[in-house]
Amino acid sequence: MYKLTFFVVAFVMLTSCGDKKNKPEEDFTPTTSSDEGMAAPEGSAADAATYDPNRGIGKHTSVDLGAKLDEAMAAEGEKIQSVKCSSCHKLTDEKLVGPGWKGVTERQKPEWIMNFITNPDPMIDKDPKLQAQLELCLVRMPNQALTDTDARNLLEYMRKNDGVK
C-alpha cells in the first residue's frame, strides 16, 4: 500500500512540473526616448563605441599597483585562484581549458585584467584579442561573480606569478 501511495505522489509531482507551455509571456516594454539621460548598461552598444583595448569594459579606469608586491593580497588571490580559476587556468603559459597565466600582467594593463575578471561577457563580446582566444579555447570564461576586492587580490597573485617582488 505504501509503495503504491509513493508512486502516485511521485507521479503527480513529476507531471505537475512540466515546461509550462501555457504560461503567458512576460510583458516586455522596449526602452523609449523617455529613458534619455540614463546610463547605458555595461556591455551595451554604447560600450562598443567607447571600447578601450587598454582598459576594456568596466568601471576600473585606474588601478594603483604600487612598486612592491602586496604579499597579503597575493595570498588571498592564491586562495581564490585555487578555488575559482585553477580548474581552467595553469600558472604556466600552457593552455588548460583557458590560457595559462604566465606573463598576463606583462601583456595586459591592470585595468584590463580587473575589468575582465569582474565583467567577462561584455569584454569577450567586444575585444578582438579575446574573441581570437575564444576561437582557440572554445569555451567562454564564466562570470565568477567576483568582487572588486577578489579581482584586485587575483591581480596581485598574477603579479607574483609573473615574478614581481
| Per-residue model confidence (pLDDT) at position 142 | 95
pTM flag (> 0.75): no
Give pLDDT, residue 3: 55
At 2 the pLDDT is 53
Model pLDDT for residues 94-113, shown as the tens digit of each residue: 999 999 999 999 999 999 99
Which cell is 30 given? 522596449
For residue 49, the model assigns a pLDDT of: 57
User: What residues of the chain score a pLDDT lower than 70?
Assistant: 1-50
Alpha carbons 163 and 115: distance in angstroms, whole number: 22
Which domains, from first to last, does the chain contain? Answer: 67-161 (1.10.760.10)
Give the model's pLDDT for residue 66. Answer: 87
Q: What is residue 35's DSSP assignment? A: G
